[in-house]
């Protein structure tokens, strides 16, 4: 089927080119011009025929095409008498400028009409199934190092506008940071899911290089929209856990959505990854008559100033539970804890930097990460009940994650994208989630409530701890080496160091060893909206290229375009039709650029002649057009090379 989809993709691109040239052909005939040749594809013709006094041919390379109109070869010899293009009867340049403009514009216009008709078809058959995260206004993750984070924006908040424009999709964030100028204004509202209180905000922040990018991609700090984290089959096929997955004994089942981890309601994979890797422990704490959850830093004892009596007690506890190694290498919480598990006093840090890492100025969750107070008693560590100080020390040495799931959540599209944000928020029954979460670490407490249940504690692993085939290990090593090599090519030392640190931390990150899916929504805006959005995206992409924000290696050539359509066919007819329409708009848009050899260039030449009232000579046009022909061929070769590099 893959080969068949590829054939369909190549055929679709060929049809778009044919329609484009057909637009030129019909209007040229209408304007009384002599059409000499109609060609689809380039290279040596593999098929030729003559019909209606026109030579038709099919080239062996089915990318591109042309309509050759009399006089467009910039000069013609007849009986040894040289003629300028405008002197050739019924030739392209012999006609009035407005007629030439009509002919040149007809090709792009044909592409636009076809694209719009395809969008009408998509709309009529019910639209497409898209991931919830692509179009949600709910924020999925905010970079903890960003200005937006310091202003209090967190996952679960809602983004409604950027730079005065309505926020409609995840692409808007990229356009806002890359093309919105130095400062970006983001508006929306903070959401308190416990009280359902919404507080409006509007912040003007400066975009900055994304931590994960080595190509200079800018970000506002919001890296993703909210998404569902559902464990289910893939189109009816099994979604097996890999050997050694931490989730094997967790009790997770198909249809479960992970909605809570270590005290936090979840809104994205990035948030879940952060909680797995932030090196904090979830404590169940009793203060007076109140029992609550608290997330505290797990620190090396060497990061703290330990009084001699505390150090001696740690040595005794270490011996009690048979922990190997030096006492300085033990993991501890930054408090003096009694043998009965009571917090006595905070411990001092070796330096200010260590303290800021443990207790940053802007806590991720201010209510959950408040420092403990003297008299608090630790009842459980990562969901495991404890009663003695040495038990607390033992369980702090490793991090077990507490997860809560909601059962029976379908992956398939059930709701329109217009209503899905409301359903996502209603799906998070915050009161019920908090009630069940309060039972973490409480002996004999129920671990389920309605369709919510707590999974068995999970110990995440790094990629090196999984059971992988030799081939998989080699692929990971090769990819890591390739990324490291690209980063080492960055000239800016500070950026290079930052990127290398990010790569190392990403490579060593802890994972659950499970594939989670987002929920699909029924996405079906009007044909006018789809046409306008693709046209705008094409313009913004071109603008980013010209301004240097977008690297040319991200642009696809003919082979890349076929790959995109091929991928669309694999996802379904609607998706394939959408990408065919999008490429049709791109084809029409790019041909209207005011570059000699393109349709827009011929329109400019006609306008110049209309203004000056003097036809251009063949030599002048050759000097204008031939260099751009060479450049266009060079660009086509470069893009094809990039496509092949990505393919192999």
Is there a contact between 516 and 230 (Cβ–Cβ < 8 Å)? Answer: yes
Matching residue, tokens 């030739």: 91
Q: Provide the strand spans (E) within 207-334.
A: 208-209, 218-219, 222-225, 230-231, 256-261, 264-265, 280-287, 290-297, 299-300, 304-305, 331-332
Matching residue, tokens 């679960």: 156
d(CA 438, CA 541): 49
47-63 b/e with 16+ CB inside 10 Å = b? eeeeeeebeebebeebb
Is there a contact between 551 and 215 (Cβ–Cβ < 8 Å)? Answer: yes
> Of 21, 84, 391, 575, which is the active-site residue?
21
First to last CA, the chain: 20
Catalytic (active site) residue 21: yes
Question: E strand or H helix at 51, and its extent?
Answer: strand 35-51
Three-state SS at 128: strand
Of 215, 182, 179, the closest CA to residue 492 belongs to 215
Three-state SS at 20: helix
Is there a contact between 277 and 262 (Cβ–Cβ < 8 Å)? Answer: no
d(CA 605, CA 595): 10
Report in angstroms the alpha-carbon separations of 527 from 171, 413, 416, 624: 19, 21, 16, 39
Rg of the chain's alpha carbons, rounded to an integer? 32
Report in angstroms the alpha-carbon separations of 108 from 39, 112, 491, 585: 17, 6, 42, 8
* DSSP at 258: E
Helix axis angle for 618-647 and 558-571, nearest 10°, is 50
Q: Which residue blocks in 125-268 are alpha helix, DSSP H?
A: 132-135, 147-150, 171-179
Is there a contact between 116 and 404 (Cβ–Cβ < 8 Å)? Answer: no
Of 275, 176, 266, the closest CA to residue 222 belongs to 176
Catalytic positions, written as ranges: 21
């Amino acid at each position: 089927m893959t080969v068949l989809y590829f054939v369909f993709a190549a055929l679709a691109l060929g049809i778009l080119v044919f329609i484009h040239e057909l637009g030129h052909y019909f209007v040229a005939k209408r304007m009384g011009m002599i059409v000499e040749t109609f060609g689809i594809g380039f290279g040596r013709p593999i098929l030729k025929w003559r019909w209606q006094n026109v030579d038709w041919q099919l080239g062996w390379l089915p990318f591109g095409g042309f309509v050759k109109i009399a006089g467009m070869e910039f000069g013609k010899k007849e009986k040894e008498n040289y003629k300028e293009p405008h002197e050739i009867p019924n030739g392209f340049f012999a006609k009035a400028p407005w007629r030439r403009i009509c002919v040149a514009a007809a090709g792009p216009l044909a592409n636009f009409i076809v694209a719009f008709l395809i969008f009408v078809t998509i709309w009529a058959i019910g639209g497409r199934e898209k991931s919830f995260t692509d179009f949600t206004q709910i924020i999925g993750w905010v970079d903890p190092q960003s200005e937006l984070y310091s202003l209090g924006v967190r996952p679960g908040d809602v983004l409604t506008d950027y730079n005065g424009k309505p926020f409609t999709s995840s692409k808007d964030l990229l356009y806002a940071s890359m093309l919105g100028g130095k400062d970006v204004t983001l508006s929306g509202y903070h959401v308190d899911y416990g009280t359902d209180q919404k507080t409006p905000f509007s912040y003007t922040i400066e975009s900055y290089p994304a931590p994960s990018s080595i190509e200079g991609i800018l970000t506002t700090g919001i890296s993703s929209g909210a998404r569902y984290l559902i464990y289910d089959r893939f189109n009816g096929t099994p979604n097996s856990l890999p050997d050694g997955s931490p989730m094997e004994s967790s009790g997770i089942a198909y249809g479960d959505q992970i909605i809570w981890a270590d005290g936090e309601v979840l809104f994205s994979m990035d948030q879940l990854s952060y909680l797995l890797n932030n090196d904090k422990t979830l404590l169940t704490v009793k203060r007076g008559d109140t029992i609550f959850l608290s997330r505290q830093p797990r620190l090396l004892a060497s990061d703290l100033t330990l009084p001699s009596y505390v150090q001696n007690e740690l040595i005794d506890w270490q011996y009690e539970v048979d922990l190997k190694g030096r006492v300085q290498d033990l993991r501890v919480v930054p408090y003096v804890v009694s043998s009965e598990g009571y917090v006595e006093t905070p411990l001092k840090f070796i330096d200010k930097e260590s303290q800021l890492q443990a207790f940053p100025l802007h806590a991720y969750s201010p209510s959950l990460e408040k420092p403990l107070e003297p008299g608090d008693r630790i009842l459980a560590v990562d969901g495991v009940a404890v009663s003695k100080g040495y038990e607390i020390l033992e369980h702090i040495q490793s991090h077990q994650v507490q997860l809560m799931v909601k059962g029976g959540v379908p992956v398939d599209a059930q709701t329109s994208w217009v209503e899905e944000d409301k359903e996502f928020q209603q799906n998070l029954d915050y009161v019920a989630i908090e009630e069940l979460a309060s039972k973490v670490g409480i002996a004999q407490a129920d671990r389920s409530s309605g369709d919510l249940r707590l999974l068995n504690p999970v110990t995440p692993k790094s990629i090196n701890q999984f059971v992988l085939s030799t081939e998989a290990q080699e692929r990971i090593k090769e990819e890591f080496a390739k990324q490291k090599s690209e980063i080492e090519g960055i000239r800016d030392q500070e950026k290079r160091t930052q990127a290398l640190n990010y790569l190392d931390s990403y490579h060593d990150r802890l994972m659950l060893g499970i594939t989670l899916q987002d929920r699909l929504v029924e996405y079906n805006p009007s044909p006018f909206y789809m046409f306008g959005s693709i046209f705008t995206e094409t313009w913004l992409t071109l603008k980013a290229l010209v301004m240097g924000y977008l690297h040319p290696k991200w642009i696809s050539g003919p082979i890349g375009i076929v790959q995109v359509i091929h991928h669309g066919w694999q996802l379904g007819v609607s998706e394939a039709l959408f990408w065919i329409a999008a490429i049709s708009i791109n084809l029409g848009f790019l041909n209207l650029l005011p570059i000699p050899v393109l349709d827009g260039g011929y329109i400019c030449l006609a306008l110049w002649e209309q203004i000056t009232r003097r036809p251009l000579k063949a030599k002048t046009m050759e000097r204008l057009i031939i260099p751009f022909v060479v450049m266009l061929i060079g660009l086509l070769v470069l893009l094809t090379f990039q496509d092949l590099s990505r393919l192999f």
